[in-house]
Amino acid sequence: MGVITKISIPLLAALALSACNQQEQSAPAQPPAAEQSSAEESAKETVAIKADEAKATQVEADKAQPKAEDLQIVADGLSKETSDSLQKAITMTQGTVRYFNLEGGFWGIVADDGRHILPQNLPQEYRKDGLRLSFKAQEVKDMMTIQQWGILSKLSDIEVIGQVDSKSGDPRL
């Protein structure tokens, strides 16, 4: 092969490619009819899926919101739903006051049903190990303690109902 042949082959290939490139640019860019219809169908399916998702989201939002008949106003200004849950949360309970020498020491109540109640507001006169009490307890949900024992609760209507033996070795308790 001669020098002219070696140079002319790449030049001819480049010329042919540039001619093809110019022809593509001058032709209008229109997809074939089959491709265009499948793109339209795909767009319609996407819109339908988005509409279904929006409906499902609205249904979930409707379920989360209470209905007007569920929130009837009662005499004390609370909704019936709230009033019922408060009645369940505040129950008359009986238990034994105990002093626990953990985490610096704290007073707790072991209820007769086995629950551990960590009183937030146990008055000084009831802080006697072995004292039996009757009381109402309402759980405090928005607070944590270092004791990590029992259900943090506010006590009300506290009455002494008896005394059992102290389990503490400390005679001051």
CATH numbers and ranges of domains, the chain: 91-163 (2.40.50.500)
- Looking at residue 73, the DSSP 8-state letter turns out to be B
Q: What is the mean pLDDT of residues 25-36?
A: 55
Q: Which residue has the higher pLDDT, 72 or 19?
A: 19
The most confident of 21-35, 50-64, 84-98, 158-172, by mean pLDDT: 158-172
pTM, 2 dp: 0.48
pLDDT at 31 over 90: no
The closest alpha carbon to 109, from 155, 173, 168, belongs to 155
Provide the pLDDT for residue 75. Answer: 43
The residue written with tokens 């937030």 in the block is 120
Q: What is the mean pLDDT of residues 73-92?
A: 52
Q: Which residue has the higher pLDDT, 36 or 87?
A: 36
pLDDT at 73 over 50: no
The residue written with tokens 């503490």 in the block is 168
The residue written with tokens 């480049």 in the block is 14
